[in-house]
Every structure is written in C-alpha cells, then in structure tokens.
Structure 1
Amino acid sequence: MKENILIDLGGILIDLDFNAMHDAFEALGVREEPAKSDLQKYETGKMSTADFYSLWQTSNWVMKSDINHAWNALLLDIPEERIALLKKLSRKHRLYLVSNTNELHINAIKSQMGIFGWNQFSKLFEKMYFSHEVGNRKPNKAFFESILKDAGLSAEDCSFIDDTKEHVDAAAKLGMDAHYVNLEEETILDLDIAR
C-alpha cells in the first residue's frame, strides 16, 4: 500500500442491504424508483433533500420521516474489525474517505454512531470527501482530480480501495494503486494491507 490510502465507505467499511431498502419502499407503496439520473443529482449535491423527497411517488400518503426510514434502511453497521483495521492503517498511512453518498445517509450514519463515535471515526482520516459536498462522483475523473488537488496528493502516491470495478478502473487510469474488493467473495479484511 502507498503512503496515502483512499477508501470507499459503502460496502467497504459500512455494510449495506439494498434489499431492505427496496422492501421498505415497497411497503410505502412506491411502484418505481426515481430515475438514476435524479438520484445522481442528489448524490452530487445538485438537488436539495426537499426535492429528493418529492421524487418518491407513492400510492399512499407518506411523511418525510417514512421516506427517511426507507432510504436509510440500506445502512447497516461498520464491523469492529474494520474500525480496528483503520486504526492500524492510520499509524503508518494517511487515510482519506471517498464516498458517493448524500446528506440523508451521512446524517443517518452520524446518528447511528453518536457524536462521540462519529468523532472517533472521523479522526482516523486526514479528510473525508463526500460526493454531495464535492459536487461530483466516482468514477468521474474530475472527482478524483479535485480530491487529489485539495489534499495536495499525486495519484502515484495513492492506493485506492473500492467495491465497484468501474471506480477502481478509473482510479487506476489516473495512476493510483487501485484495489477492487468483490463483496460477493471478500471484504477489505481479505486484502493484504493489514500486515
């Protein structure tokens, strides 16, 4: 691993359950999900949370809190072993969190961890880069370039870990030491980085 490690959040650190989210929306009477392009607008901060709520067409009248609950049903927890790995890595490497995410998910994770837990987690990273704050998303070249510029890093001095092949390929094209984690077969703990 290089001196600087850029690590994805969803799937790599925090476990996700897409079925739970889909089931929760189905229970609300959502017949079809919003267009991918609209979800990506929310993910890149180009759509407000208020507008995001209005994307969900339901057969029943639902409150914003219902949509929150369904949207955040995706998020499980961060296993302790992964936190332990981050602590170990942070002693020898500079860690950066890089995630395609959104305001509601980050707020839910903060709430789940509590103020103390979130602060302890945040301290493991030099900086956190969230797509809705950066205004761009993986695998776009501009997303990576803006992070490298902001952090004062060169791609050649960075390792990148993600569970989406497209993101890993984009990082590798820029010159990063990129690692794909196939979640059907492994986790970040299976990578040769904990030694």
Structure 2
Amino acid sequence: MIKNLVFDFGDIFINLDKPATYREMAALGVTKITEEMIAVYHQYEKGLMTTDAFINFFHDKFGLEKTDLVRSWNAVLLDFPKKRLEFVKELAASKKYRLFLLSNTNDLHISWIQDSLGDEFYNEFKNCFEQFYLSHEINFRKPDAEIYQFVLNENELIAEETLFVDDLKENTDSANSLGIHVWNLIPGEEEITELFTKKKNLL
C-alpha cells in the first residue's frame, strides 16, 4: 500500500523546454558541451558551487556576461499550469498520503521560478509538501542512489510504501533499484493530474 508520494518538479509541475538553454548558449557562441561544463553544472546543482562562481566560470571561459548567461540558463523554464497546483492542493488537503518534492534544482532556477510564479502561487505549492527537497540545498542530485536513500532515512519512509514520479527514466530506474515504486511520466503524453488513473493499481 502506498503511503508516501515523492514528486519531481520540472516537467511534472512546471513545464520545461529542455533544449532551450543549449539553443541560447549556442547563439552566444558556446556550441559544444564539454565534460568540464557538465562537471561544473553538477557541482552547482549539488550546491557545491556558489552562483557567483558558476557565473564566473562561464565568463572566464567564454566571455559571457552575467545577464546573457542568466537569461540563457533560465530559458529552459516555462509555465506552471494552474490545474497542477489545484491537483496537488487537493491531494495535500486529503491527508491520505505524505507528500514530498525532490528536484534537481539550482539557485538561479529556483529564484527565477519564485519571481515568475509570485510568492502566493509559489508558497501555496510549497506548502503542499511535508518536505521540499532541492538538490542545491541538500548536496545530492538525481539519479545518484544516495539522494533517494537520504529521503527515505530522513523521513523514516519504507521504500515499498513509496511512489516516486519523475520524467527521466534514469531517475526512476535508480529509485526503483532501492525498492521504491515509480512512475516515469512522459511529458506531453501524460499528466500528473492523471496519477490516480495511471497508478490506480497502486493507489
């Protein structure tokens, strides 16, 4: 029996245009994603690098100005449909499950999201969750198994009583390897509001 629901953020609640940052960066002359850039990104996403250090890396390496980098970096972020907020608010109000958010999110992205949504909308959303885990605040990132183990241990959750929803298969595969039930939601084909239809066998 599922007692705990753990949700990703991007492309589960807020829509993403995943290639947008690459397009924007290419327009600024950064046409190749190197291993060094990926390593820096992962460090930043784990909160092991400050926003200033992250921006300075791209400025020193490619001559990018802060405003150009921030605009390009946040281009991936789109809208947050109101029906998804209403869905999770109703779910929280039912008190049938313990709700958690678990997102690979960095400081620049979450700042843009807060500004874009406004305090009222953002706080309504955040308050639906018992814990609101952002990778840069807890120093772990998906799909590393330790991030899921951290959530289980911190909240005394039983893996077999927990369902994790994410749009990336590598993330759901990693969680599933620990015995957590998963839904690898396909953006554009499936909606988080369909949870009780798609996973009615569990819920």
**% same residue:** 37
Residue 154 of structure 2 is matched in structure 1 by: 150
1:78 aligned onto 2:67: no
Query: For the residues of structure 2 that align with 1:19 and 1:37, how far apart are their CA atoms?
Result: 19
**Unmatched segments (≥5 aa) in structure 2:** none
Aligned letter for 1:88?
E
Query: For the residues of structure 2 that align with 1:186 and 1:58, how far apart are their CA atoms?
Result: 41
* TM-score, reference length from structure 2: 0.86
Match of 1:45 among 25, 44, 47: 47
**Counterpart contact for 1:140–1:170, Cα < 8 Å:** yes
Range with bigger deviation, 97-106 or 148-157:
148-157
Deviations 1:59-96 (A, max 9, x none): 98543122111100110011111112112221222210
Match of 1:69 among 56, 61, 71: 71
Residue 2 of structure 1 is matched in structure 2 by: 2
SS at the partner of 1:68?
helix
Query: For the residues of structure 1 that align with 2:80 and 2:98, how far apart are their CA atoms?
Result: 20
Deviations 1:161-188 (A, max 9, x none): 0111111111112111111112253232
**Unmatched segments (≥5 aa) in structure 1:** none
**Counterpart contact for 1:7–1:97, Cα < 8 Å:** yes
**Counterpart contact for 2:166–2:185, Cα < 8 Å:** yes
Q: Please report how far the alpha carbon of residue 13 of structure 1 lies from its aligned counterpart in structure 2 after TM superposition.
A: 1.0
Aligned letter for 2:196?
D
1:96 aligned onto 2:104: no
Deviations 1:103-161 (A, max 9, x none): 11011111111122211111111111111111111121111111122222221221110
Output aligned runs, 1:7-22, within 5 Å.
7-22=7-22
**Counterpart contact for 2:59–2:65, Cα < 8 Å:** no
Query: For the residues of structure 1 that align with 2:185 and 2:165, how far apart are their CA atoms?
Result: 7
Query: For the residues of structure 1 that align with 2:111 and 2:162, how far apart are their CA atoms?
Result: 28
* TM-score, reference length from structure 1: 0.90
Q: Please report how far the alpha carbon of residue 57 of structure 1 lies from its aligned counterpart in structure 2 after TM superposition.
A: 5.6
Q: Please report how far the alpha carbon of residue 58 of structure 1 lies from its aligned counterpart in structure 2 after TM superposition.
A: 8.6
Aligned length: 195
Query: For the residues of structure 2 that align with 1:39 and 1:71, how far apart are their CA atoms?
Result: 11
Query: For the residues of structure 1 that align with 2:129 and 2:88, how far apart are their CA atoms?
Result: 9
